[in-house]
Structure 1
Amino acid sequence: MKKLLIPFYIIVAVTALAGCQKELERTNVNPNEPTVVQPDYLLSNGIKSNVDTYWGNDATMETSLLYVQYWAKIQYPDPDRYIPATTNIQTVWNNFYAQGIQDFTTLAQLGDSLHNPNYKAVATIMRAWIFQQLTDLYGDIPYTQAANIEKYLTPVYDSQRTVYRGLLADLKGAAQIISPSDNAIIGDVLLSGNMNSWKKFANGLRSRIALRIADRDPAAAKAVFTELAAEGNFFLTDKDTDVKLNYLASPNQNPVGRNRETRNDYRISKTVVDKLKALNDPRLSIYAALPTEPGSTNYVGVTNGLSADSASRLGFTKTSDVGAAFTATQAPAWLFTYAEQLFILAEAAQRNLISGNAADLYQQAIRASFKQYGITGKPVDDYLAQASVVYDATNYKKSIGEQKWLALFSEGLEAFAEWRRLDYPQLTPAYTGALQGKMPLRLTYPSSEQALNGNNYKAAVARQGADLLTTKVWFDIY
């Protein structure tokens, strides 16, 4: 066989070129662009970007806040008629997976490599919080194979039951590795590096998820509360700060405030205004703004799902916008509050998942919600004394459901999940809704999943039900 002879000068040239390439790589390194991500930057950006998604246009203003009838549209009403834009559905999915799950997975890995368990714990807690939002909204989702694109380019969809069970284990593990006395973290714009607060947030999410699964799997829900009790019931107290992101001036302003800088096509819903008025609820003046029409003294909500011409005829100046507590540039974004924790414990006591007085915890929850907005004393006492507010153990879902709905005002995603689970308040579908008299019960999967992850998408739909707004998710059984 004839040998192939390569001229020596070609060998020399190739060797030289290889050496030049290596030298160029060394020369063209920008010292101002680190190749290893810093955990503090990743943590700060991860919190801010994902809370923006949670509190922003796609997941709240154009969807969940309308579905639970906190807000209504006075212009461009299609979303309020249950016709969401495909971009809204796609953006929530993309942002939570790409800016959330991926970033916090990376941060958890950094926590391991840096031998700092607190970074890993915080990353795991935030990752679990995002997964909870995703499964609450869509149902079955990629979970066990998510954020591992090198191995799973087309991740399978896990059942919602599997996701919730996994999140409970993740949160329990995160709480166990938290070290409050050492391993300080920086970049924490949510809880200022207070690891006890992070542990309470993790436990609060565990208790929240336990109630999510309680109708389907009461034994598993009971086990979660038993574990939490064995760990000392380390929850938020009235001395703690709620889990919230305090926004700053532009460009780090509240997404709702940013929205109001260029448009104003939202109003407070007539549904919530009517309820607040019926209960003589002093939070009305906080949740809603008076119409800007000179001499206006009455709060005026807008009916959800009006046609475009009907909504516009109401007039911008004659109807109430949402209050400044939620629309101001520096208004905070709440992720978990002491009031919510108490509502959870009240329901858990009623269901015999914990020991305790449900009626007393229910009253404490309402007091905590009022205190969140600076209302204390006699106005709260008078409110609680009303027959329409007094706790009804024979229909606890109504008592807790209606008051929790009022307390979660502006937390559209959590309120949407709790309304579906508790079935209170009993809302009337949008006036000209596009779902034949029904209301949305989930978001549909983004079209990109059908194109890029088709087989797993089809398997999820076959298991869960038709990919429609009206298909119930696993936890929603009533």
Structure 2
Amino acid sequence: MKIKYLATIISGTLLLSATACKKTIEDINKNPNASETGQPDYILTGVTKALADTYWGTSNNMDASLLWVQNWAKIQYTDPDRYIYTSTSFNELWGTGYTRGVVNLNALLKIADAQANPNYKGVALVLRSWVFQLLTDNYGDVPYTQASSINEFLTPAYDKQKDVYFAILDDLKSAQTFLSPSGPAIAGDIIYGTSSGANQILLWKKFANSLRLRIALRIADREPEKAKQVLADIQADGSGYISSNSETAQLVYAASPNQNPISNLFDTRDDYRISKTIVDKLFALNDPRLPVYASKTRDATPQTYVGLPNGLLVGDASSYGFTKTSKPGTYFLAPSAPAVIISYAEVLFDQAEATQRGFIAGNAADLYRQAITASLTQYGIGTADINTYLAQSSVAYDAANYRKSIGEQKWIALFGQGLEAYAEWRRLDYPQLTPAVAGTLGGKIPLRFIYPGTEQSLNGTSYNAAVASQGADALTTKLWFDVN
């Protein structure tokens, strides 16, 4: 891809080199024989892969959110599992989200206009909305308005989290108007690209609506009327939601070097085990997903699947034994394991909650059962086992405490999707997790990412304004959407 970049992007920030140097650098690096217009299919492929790698990768997933929601635990180098981080620990989501995500998707939006291809524009808006959702879910207030014009705003202001969510919802609504099955074809789509032309765009429309549903619930405790209106707009639009496991929005990886980041890490390292918290829960529920989520211990053990407590000191973690504790399941360690962005099961859980809240019509208990069924089917669980699982009183839907029913089952279904599971745990407050054994936050679990340290030094005025508005730049500061 030959894309014109304005200047060297400083790692982890939106800041560019000083404007006095910008023109000189551009002139020096300009290739008179190369096109300065990027190819939209190359941009789309590249940005999707970069975002999926970050979403599913080490810094944000394996070394943070998967530990905090106690899907995984660390058996070596346990500092992250004890909530010990530095000012550079959370640079990747910020840096990749903005410099490889927002910047390239903004470029794709401009190319889509220049080439009169609204379908590229709609896809770019959907992906950009997902990026901004990840950023605000985890940091809180983030640059949004000025992030679209980084050549004009070298030190972008932070928008309040409420405003970011509202803006994303507007963008996704706009995306629906641009996405047209009868419009021009798009290429480079590695999420739905195997579908035929018209169906491919219909799936993107469902993806957009499913994200709107997710974000409507994210704001529901603060802005219930806005959430209800968003869902009414979706109903009126008529494009529907993701409606089968085959429509799940995900990137299916291939063999090395394009393998799943988890597979890539486990090829050379042995730092992680499945958390005792989720293993115990799966045992308690006789959950048939246990052998999918966890590998058998290398040495024979009475339970076959053994989880590791979260947040142990290094010596204590090692004493459990590398061969007597379970790694994540082979499904997740496979090179081609998908990076799931939003699943059919999640969409059904979201519809169940929206129904229970009175935002949409339907039967919450039925949707809840359908959601569990979709999750089990996603992993190849058979009908007989599904029926046996659903028949348990411990799995039955409790309308009087829907947060617990949906929260716990959604937590199980989101296994591996650390960032989304983390956002939903904060929002629903279930499952009720016990902080890390040797945690460093005074008996608390982190509630957000801290901003990259470079923001303090390179965008200090905007950073300080955000901290003054939102609260201390600390792991324990509660974000706007996190009410309870």
With normalisation by structure 2, the TM-score equals: 0.91
Deviations 1:106-154 (A, max 9, x none): 1011100110001111111100000000000000000010041211111
Specify the alignment match of 1:329 in structure 2.
335
CA distance in 1, matches of 2:96, 2:45: 16
- d(CA) in 2 for partners of 1:290, 1:228: 44
Counterpart residue type for residue 101 of structure 2: G
Alpha-carbon shift at residue 296 of structure 1 (Å):
6.9
Asked whether 1:116 is paired with 2:122, we answer no
Deviation of residue 29 (structure 1)?
5.3
Matched, 1:375 2:376: no
Which amino acid is 2:94 matched to?
W
- Distance apart, 1:468 and its partner CA: 0.5
Q: 1:385: how far off?
A: 1.0
Q: How big is the shift at 1:395?
A: 0.3
Residue 264 of structure 1 and its aligned partner are, at CA, apart by 1.1
Q: Which residue of 2 aligns with 1:46?
A: 47
SS, match of residue 355 in structure 1: coil
Deviations 1:167-208 (A, max 9, x none): 000000001111112300000011106111110000000000
1:59 aligned residue: 60
1-structure distance, mates of 2:293, 2:55: 19
Q: 1:124 to 1:233 in 2, by over 3 A?
A: closer
3-state SS of paired residue (1:250): coil
Tell me the distance in 1 between the aligned counterparts of 2:274 and 2:116. 48
Once the two structures are superposed, residues 373-419 of structure 1 have per-residue CA deviations (whole angstroms, 9 ceiling, x without a partner) of 01131111111111111000000000000000000000000000000
* TM-aligned CA distance change 1:405 to 1:239, over 3 Å: closer
**CA RMSD across the alignment:** 1.4
**Preserved contact between residue 72 and residue 303 of structure 1 (Cα < 8 Å):** yes
Which residue number in structure 2 is paired with residue 454 of structure 1? 460
Matches within 5 A, 1:91-240: 91-192=92-193, 194-232=200-238, 234-238=240-244, 240=246
Report deviation, 1:314.
Answer: 1.1
SS in 2 for 1:145: helix
Paired residues for 1:440-451 under 5 Å: 440-451=446-457
CA contact (8 A) 2:470 2:479 kept: yes
Q: Which moved more, 1:60-69 or 1:325-334?
A: 325-334
Structure 1 SS opposite 2:241: coil
Work out whether residues 56 and 256 of structure 1, in 8 Å CA contact, stay in contact via their aligned partners in 2: yes
1-structure distance, mates of 2:404, 2:353: 11
Indicate the residue corresponding to 2:10 in structure 1. none
Q: Aligned partners of 1:331, 1:116: CA distance in 2, in Å?
A: 32
How far 1:297 sits from its partner (Å)? 5.5
- Is residue 191–residue 250 contact of structure 2 (8 Å, CA) maintained in 1? yes
Match of 2:235, as an amino acid?
A
Amino acid in structure 1 at the alignment position of 2:438: T
CA contact (8 A) 1:290 1:296 kept: no
Identify the residue that residue 68 of structure 1 maps to in structure 2: 69
**Alpha-carbon distance between aligned partners in 2 of 1:304 and 1:318, rounded to the nearest angstrom:** 16
AA paired with 1:255?
A: P
Q: Map 1:239-258 to 2 at 5 A.
A: 240-258=246-264
The residue number in structure 1 matching 2:306 is 300
Q: Distance in 2 between matches of 1:236 and 1:242?
A: 6
Deviation at 1:273, TM superposition (A): 0.2
1:30 Cα deviation after fit: 7.3
Counterpart for residue 15 of structure 2: none
**Equivalent position to 2:353, from 334, 344, 347:** 347
Following superposition, the deviation at residue 90 of structure 1 comes to 1.2
Task: Answer yes or no: is the 8 Å Cα contact 1:305–1:432 preserved in 2.
Answer: yes
Whichever residue aligns with residue 159 of structure 1, its letter is K
What is the distance in 2 between the residues matched to 1:88 and 1:45?
A: 24
Q: Tell me the residue number matched to 1:315.
A: 321
Which whole-Å deviations, capped at 9, do the CAs of 1:336-355 have from their partners, x for residues lacking one? Answer: 11101100000000000001
CA contact (8 A) 1:290 1:297 kept: no
- State how far apart, in whole Å, the 1-side matches of 2:322 and 2:340 are: 28
Does residue 363 in structure 1 map to residue 364 in structure 2? no
Residue 434 of structure 1: aligned partner: 440
Aligned-partner SS, 2:89: helix
Give me the whole-angstrom Cα distance separating, in 1, the residues matched to 2:31 and 2:237. 50
Equivalent position of 2:267 in the other structure: 261
* Cα pair 1:79 1:85 within 8 Å, conserved: no
Give a deviation string over 1:189-231, Cα, whole Å, max 9, x none: 1110611111000000000000000000100011011111111
Residues of 2 paired with 1:375 and 1:289: CA distance?
Answer: 16
Q: Does the CA-based 8 Å contact 1:191-1:197 persist in structure 2? A: yes
Aligned length, in residue pairs = 451
User: Residue 333 of structure 1 aligns to a residue in which SS?
Assistant: strand
Percent identical residues:
55
Cα contact 2:88–2:453 (8 A) shared by 1: no
Instruction: Determine helix, strand or coil for the equivalent of 2:145.
Output: coil
* Mapped partners of 1:328, 1:34: distance in 2: 39
In the alignment, which of 414, 424, 440 is matched to residue 418 of structure 1? 424
Compare 258-267 and 81-90 and name the one that shifted more: 81-90
Greater Cα radius of gyration, structure 1 or 2: 1
Aligned partner of residue 335 in structure 1, secondary structure: strand
Query: Residue 473 of structure 2 is aligned with which of 462, 467, 476?
Result: 467
Cα distance in 1 for residues equivalent to 2:234 and 2:93 = 32
1:287-335 Cα shifts (integer Å, max 9, x gaps)? 0000111577610000000000000111111100001111111111100
Q: Which residue of 1 aligns with 2:290?
A: 284
Instruction: Give the drift of 1:233.
Output: 5.5
Q: Is the 1:367–1:376 Cα contact (8 Å) retained in structure 2?
A: no
Inter-partner Cα distance in structure 1 for 2:363 and 2:140? 33
The CA distance in 2 between the partners of 1:29 and 1:435, in whole Å, is 52
Measured in 2, the distance between the counterparts of 1:150 and 1:431 equals 47
